Amino acid sequence: MTLSIDGTDIGEIIEIASLVGTIVTMLVVGLLVYLMVRPPRHVRERRKAEASRVETEPLDAEELVRLLDRMDARLEVLERAVADETRRPAIGGRQTKQVLAPVEDRDSGRTE
């Protein structure tokens, strides 16, 4: 049994080794960045304790439900107002389109 290696085989070996090295390097750099930017343990534990404490307070949940009910009521009033406004004809009994000319703003260069 004879083992024969020529220049193309060596080139392929180098290419595969560089690909594997690049992948391993990227994983190590990603791990280092993760370890550098994650918050310290005491901060993570405090956040976890606060999150569990917030979930167990029923008064906040009741207040949130009341707030959502008020928001729904206000939304219904707003929808009725918009519907009434769209059904009402314009002043003078006919609909008029208001055409505005673009306004040049000297400071920003935008047109409105």
Residues of the chain with pLDDT under 70: 54-58, 89-112
Q: Which residues pair with 111 in a beta bridge?
A: 104
Structure tokens at 29: 């750099």
Say if pTM beats, i.e. exceeds, 0.85: no
Report the SS3 class of residue 78: helix
Q: How far apart are CA 51 and CA 48, in angstroms?
A: 5
Share of the chain above pLDDT 90, in %: 46
Structure tokens at 109: 């260069």
pLDDT of residue 83: 86
Ranges of each domain in the chain:
9-38, 40-87
Q: What is the dihedral of CA 48, 49, 51, 54, to 10 degrees?
A: 180
